[in-house]
Amino acid sequence: MSKPEAIQIETILTHLRALVSADSSEPERTMTANHPAMLYAMGVLTDAGCDVEITDLGGGCVNLFATRGETRTLFNCHLDTVKPNPMWTRDPFALDVEQGLAYGLGACDIKGAAACMLAVAQSTDAPIAIFLSSDEEGGKGVCVDSFLGAHAGRFARVVVAEPTNAKAVFQHRGFASFEIDFSGTAGHTSGADASSESAIHKAIKWGSEALELARPGGVLDGSRFNIGVIEGGTASNVIAASAKVRFGFRPQPSPEANELAQQGIDALRTLLPKGGGDAWSERFVGPALSRDDSMIEVVESWGIELGADVDFWTEAALFSAAGLPAIVLGPGDIAQAHASDEFVALDQLEKCAGAYMRIVGCALQTPMMTGGTHAP
């Protein structure tokens, strides 16, 4: 490998500017293999000597997979963003650099990391593998599932970009979200059976019993159980024929996390009124990311700062669940993600690009396939 060039912050900002201007806030509507963000990344990575393959899975799910040489370490970053909220005071799609901060939609979550990856690929000829996806914010997991099906065996570990202040994160909570549609029988509330026939009454009874499970000693204790939506009915003198409850919880990481999460789900379902008629549906279930001890040694060998556990969910859990050890590592703070006037600090971009460079350098020295000090 020839000596890597130092990465200039201007190079990272050039990439970030291009990616931010490529609106990817509604991937299900706009994301295809020809989306400007995908084409830009493909152009940079092709020029950097990578083989680049773009796969359009439909429905806004597009994968870009770039490789140069053989490496056992995979980088992953999503290129989709949330929609800009009405509180933005700047143009969300025009990168604005001011006093050490780069403002733009997705600058923090997580196009800044993608810009760092592109800059790293350009500034060295070390082996590198980058997988960019487009359906993270929608929580579909289609991109990662498809990628794993095709390429998982090639890699020994994955570095998933999300905002971690450029520190390596080994664990985070899971996230499980559901909806229940309670059904009742509409009628006049003067009837003797009004109380038991109301869908809203059923929903409230279920909710209060569910909250008991989240109290100390309950099966959901410590899981951040939350009922986020409860709606239904039409008037105070009409028995509610329907009511909807949306809720979620966030199981803590541990070797038993998935088992405990399933126990929580089972307990919540058991609380449903007997006799059926109420529809339970899953909205999203993502496992917790529990530490893979082999990754501690690997990250220390890279010389990257170890971070504390985080509470937000990432797709690192999907790789880990498929047997591929994963860490989360990206520039910026989660506090700015999804926020109006989202920004990433320039020193975070520099720090993260430096970390990615060390990973690439280290990956180069890692013996391929089996054995060696870094192999998990």
Residue numbers of the site for Zn ion (CB under 5 A)? 109-110, 162
Quick check: is 136 catalytic? yes
User: Residue 273: CB partners within 8 Å, gap ≥ 6?
Assistant: 182, 202, 205, 206
Alpha helices in the chain (DSSP H): 9-21, 27-30, 36-47, 112-123, 142-151, 194-197, 199-213, 257-270, 293-302, 316-321, 346-365
Contact 143, 133 (CB under 8 A): yes
Closer residue to Zn ion, CB minimum distance, 130 or 240: 130
Contact 182, 202 (CB under 8 A): yes
Q: What share of the chain is helix, strand, coil (3-state, %, to 5)?
A: 35, 20, 45
Closer residue to Zn ion, CB minimum distance, 135 or 162: 162
**Candidates 28, 98, 136, 162; catalytic one:** 136
Closer residue to Zn ion, CB minimum distance, 109 or 341: 109
194: helix, coil or strand? Answer: helix
- The β-bridge relationship of strands 101-103 and 96-98 is antiparallel
- The β-bridge relationship of strands 61-68 and 326-328 is unpaired
Closer residue to Zn ion, CB minimum distance, 110 or 349: 110
Q: How far is the CB of 8 from Zn ion (least distance, A)?
A: 25
Q: How far is the CB of 80 from Zn ion (least distance, A)?
A: 8
Among all residues, which ones are annotated catalytic? 136
